[in-house]
Structure 1
Amino acid sequence: MAKGERRVLLVLGDYVEDYEAIVPFQALQAYVVSVDAVCPGKKAGDICRTAIHQLSPAHQTYSESRGHNFALNGTFDDIEFNKYDGLIIPGGQAPEYLPLDASVLKLVRKFSDS
């Protein structure tokens, strides 16, 4: 990492909310922030499936449809948390099950403690 370079870790899981993953990923890169998108159990080049939630005008709930295949550019097992300035965990279904993964909890605790 070059001196002064900013770096953010984006932790994803399958059926992460599409816009909550893609928009920060692209926006941060537009501001010359390096973003590593990772998922437990997956490697760089693998994909996370995303979901799109839309408010149903006829009901007081959301409908879910299939989003994109988000290509990961990092490998979760290779993370060195101290090389990052920030952590993003987008919404959707992924945050419902990511806390069940001990390695994700350990990573989040390291960020919180630092």
Structure 2
Amino acid sequence: MSKIVVILGDMFEDVEYTEPIKAFKQNNHEITVVGLEKGQIVKGKRGNASEKIEKSFQDVSINDFDALLIPGGYSPDELRADENAVQFTKKFVESGKPVFAICHAPQILITAKVIKGRKITGWKSIKQDIINAGAIFIDEEVVIDDNIISSRSPADIPAFVKASLKKLKE
């Protein structure tokens, strides 16, 4: 069983949170939701999901967790404006622990300056941002580069979840 931290801000992409979480829980992984303010209720942009932030970035350490999930939507853009969120993400990637990033999630990875020279995918509208950050954009449903597993969109969720669960077993 792994301890997975999900970093979540308002207007996250509903299924990019709910589907991986459901799969992780079915495989007996423990989930902790971290955000900007403990107790805050964040909502999915489609209105199909909401979640209460269990802990703020000031309350946690990367040492508390085995893997990081970053759902897309507007959430990564909101989180990357917060220095604590950026530093947590940066330290997590640099630790070598698994990082699962889907859709717009690379936005916070770009701000954390941790994708230069890495192969990564994401939503088509941030392709140029990924390239400008020095990463190699790969247009595939799942891209695995060492500890970062990335996917493009909700359509890629089945492959994303499968690759993420496989990485957790390593």
TM-score (norm 2): 0.51
Aligned residues: 94
Runs of 5+ unmatched residues, structure 2: 96-170
Greater share of strand? 1
Greater share of helix? 2
Runs of 5+ unmatched residues, structure 1: 53-65
In 2, the alpha carbon distance for the partners of 1:68 and 1:6 equals 24
Rg (Cα) greater in structure: 1
The match for 1:86 is 67
Does structure 1 residue 96 correspond to structure 2 residue 77?
yes
Q: What is the CA-CA distance between 1:103 and the residue it aligns to?
A: 0.5
Does structure 1 residue 18 correspond to structure 2 residue 14?
yes
Q: What is the CA-CA distance between 1:7 and the residue it aligns to?
A: 0.6
In 1, the alpha carbon distance for the partners of 2:77 and 2:60 equals 22
Runs (4 or more) in structure 1 with deviation over 4 Å come to none
In 2, the alpha carbon distance for the partners of 1:105 and 1:22 equals 23
TM-score (norm 1): 0.74
Residue identity over aligned pairs, in percent, reads 27
In 1, the alpha carbon distance for the partners of 2:4 and 2:49 equals 22
Q: Whose RCO is larger (CA < 8 A, sep 6+)?
A: 1
RMSD over aligned CA atoms reads: 1.4
The match for 1:8 is 4
